[in-house]
A and B are shown apart, each in its own frame.
Chain A
Amino acid sequence: SQTIHQWPATLVQPVGSPLSLECTVEGTSNPNLYWYRQAAGRGLQLLFYSVGIGQISSEVPQNLSASRPQDRQFILSSKKLLLSDSGFYLCAWSVRTWTGGSTDTQYFGPGTRLTVL
């Protein structure tokens, strides 16, 4: 079965410090990968998605970036964190099976709670 891991689970960082959050998926190959952010008491906002190694699409302009160095690894980074970067970051994966209406359900990792002070 497929599993998705995120680390760290919790992170407290000062303003201006760098950031690196990691997401890995096991049990599948060539997944679509996604990074979402959830502000306190709010819904999820898509930040980045990737359909393959080295292929990153950004949905929201900001000081965050993403990379996909390996097929099942997705990294969210920042060179200098802002207070507004605080939130809950969720990674998700899906299988692209676009054949006559097949679904592309996304499955989420456990998340990383980031607090920027």
Chain B
Amino acid sequence: AQTVTQSQPEMSVQEAETVTLSCTYDTSENNYYLFWYKQPPSRQMILVIRQEAYKQQNATENRFSVNFQKAAKSFSLKISDSQLGDTAMYFCAFMKLYNNAGNMLTFGGGTRLMVKP
């Protein structure tokens, strides 16, 4: 079974600064996806960014980027130019791919990020 670990329960950052959230995972699979989801106070789960394991290039989405280290099984999220609206819980998630079944997500415990003005 896969496990996902987020070692930072809470973090804070000043507005406009950069913050990095950590995530490690354990798997014996070679083909999988990794995701970061954001959950603001509304509790809606919003996809932030995803990474295919077969791609060496790190994914980026505007102010969000990842540092994917496959050998180390590490998948950190960097938020640049932090904004007040980035305040939320952030979840790292792992997905093993199946051909004929639902592709299930395994979530980490989350990191609560507070952006301070």
Where the two chains meet, the residues of B that have a C-beta atom closer than 8 Å to any C-beta of A are: 31, 33, 35, 37, 42-47, 50, 52, 54, 91, 95, 97, 99-110
Contacts and interface: CB of A to CB of B under 8 A. Distances in A.
A43 interface: yes
A104 B95 contact: yes
Contacts of B50: 103, 105
A90 interface: yes
A34 to B, nearest CB: 7
Contacts of B103: 32, 94, 96, 104, 106
- Interface size bucket, A side? 20 to 34
The secondary-structure label for the interface of chain A is: strand
Contact of B97 (A51, A98, A111): A98
Nearest to B108: A43
A43 B110 contact: yes
B36 to A, nearest CB: 12
A45 B28 CA distance: 21
A76 to B, nearest CB: 15
Contacts of B105: 34, 44, 46, 106
The secondary-structure label for the interface of chain B is: loop
B9 to A, nearest CB: 9
Output the residue of A50, A59, A88, A104 with the most chain B CB within 10 A. A104
B33 A103 contact: yes
A55 to B, nearest CB: 9
A88 B37 CA distance: 16
A108 B44 contact: yes
A26 to B, nearest CB: 17
Interface string A41-60: 11111100111000001010
Interface in A54-96: 57, 59, 88, 90, 92, 94, 96
A50 B104 CA distance: 11
Contacts of B107: 43-45
Given A43-B91, A106-B105, A111-B44, 5 more contacts: A46-B106, A59-B104, A104-B103, A105-B35, A108-B46
Contact of B52 (A34, A42, A101): A101
Given A42-B109, A43-B109, A103-B52, A57 B91 contact: no
